[in-house]
Amino acid sequence: MRVLVSITLFILAQTLSAQNQQPCSTEAHRQFDFWIGEWTVYKTGTDTVAGHNSVRQILESCVIEENWTSATGWQGKSFNTYNPVDSTWNQVWVDQSGATYHFSGRREGDVMQLYGETASQKGEHILFDFSFHYKPEEDTIRQVWKMSKDEGHNWQVIFDGTYVKE
């Protein structure tokens, strides 16, 4: 009987402990937190503003929400989550044209590297290589977005921006 009571109390304690833990509180879930904040984004190497980005945590800090507005007024949002099953970060991007992109990747050192693919309206297979280069000493981020229309043999930079905290 004592053994049964001890086992029951142990299981109950583990269950209560798990319920009290914040669901996305692991170190891996915090790997993209450097992006959180209010940012002015410049075309890298210039003082030309590319846009504004507001990035925050939502849903019990399990999702990082991005709200982008370009200097020309173009708007988009992304939702970013960590998947502990395969240790990847996943992003879904949507914009005011209805375009939707899916990216997946990992953080290595100070670089968050995401990859994705889509088909163009012409049916072309397009690959994306999307990276965030965090410079903690400056508290800046350089974001470089590249695409390839030839299965990764050649890459074209389609966005190169430097994030500066407001």
Q: What is the pLDDT of residue 12?
A: 47
Mean pLDDT of 55-65: 98
Q: How confident is the model at residue 2 (pLDDT cuts 50, 70, 90)?
A: low
Note the pTM of the prediction, 2 decimals: 0.84
Closest CA to 54 of 37, 71, 75, 29: 37
User: DSSP class of residue 33?
Assistant: G
**Token pair for 83:** 């998947």
**Token pair for 140:** 């800046």
Q: How confident is the model at residue 23 (pLDDT cuts 50, 70, 90)?
A: confident
Answer yes or no: is pLDDT of 4 > 60: no
Spatial distance between the Cα atoms of 51 and 48, rounded to a whole number of angstroms:
9
pLDDT, tens only, 27-49: 999 999 999 999 999 999 999 99
**How many CA atoms does the CB half-sphere of 53 hold within 13 Å?**
25
**Token pair for 108:** 């290595």
The residue range of the domain holding 69 is 27-165
Answer yes or no: is pLDDT of 102 > 90: yes
Residue 5 covered by a domain: no
% residues pLDDT > 90 (the chain): 85
Query: What are φ and ψ of residue 4, in 5° steps?
Result: -60, -45
Spatial distance between the Cα atoms of 154 and 97, rounded to a whole number of angstroms:
27
Determine what percent of the chain falls in helix, strand and coil, rounding each to the nearest 5: 15, 55, 30
Spatial distance between the Cα atoms of 160 and 141, rounded to a whole number of angstroms:
11
Is 149 in contact with 125 (CB distance < 8 Å)?
yes
Residue 52 covered by a domain: yes
Mean pLDDT of 79-104: 97
Answer yes or no: is pLDDT of 16 > 50: no
Q: How many domains does the chain have?
A: 1
Residue 1 covered by a domain: no
Spatial distance between the Cα atoms of 153 and 157, rounded to a whole number of angstroms:
13
Residue 11 covered by a domain: no
Q: What is the pLDDT of residue 121?
A: 86
pLDDT, tens only, 115-124: 999 998 899 9
Residue 133 covered by a domain: yes
Q: What is the pLDDT of residue 30?
A: 97
Residue 18 covered by a domain: no
CATH number at residue 116: 2.40.128.20
Residue 131 covered by a domain: yes
Is 138 in contact with 128 (CB distance < 8 Å)?
no
Residue 21 covered by a domain: no
Any idea which of 10-14, 39-43, 127-131 has the lowest mean pLDDT?
10-14
Spatial distance between the Cα atoms of 125 and 110, rounded to a whole number of angstroms:
30
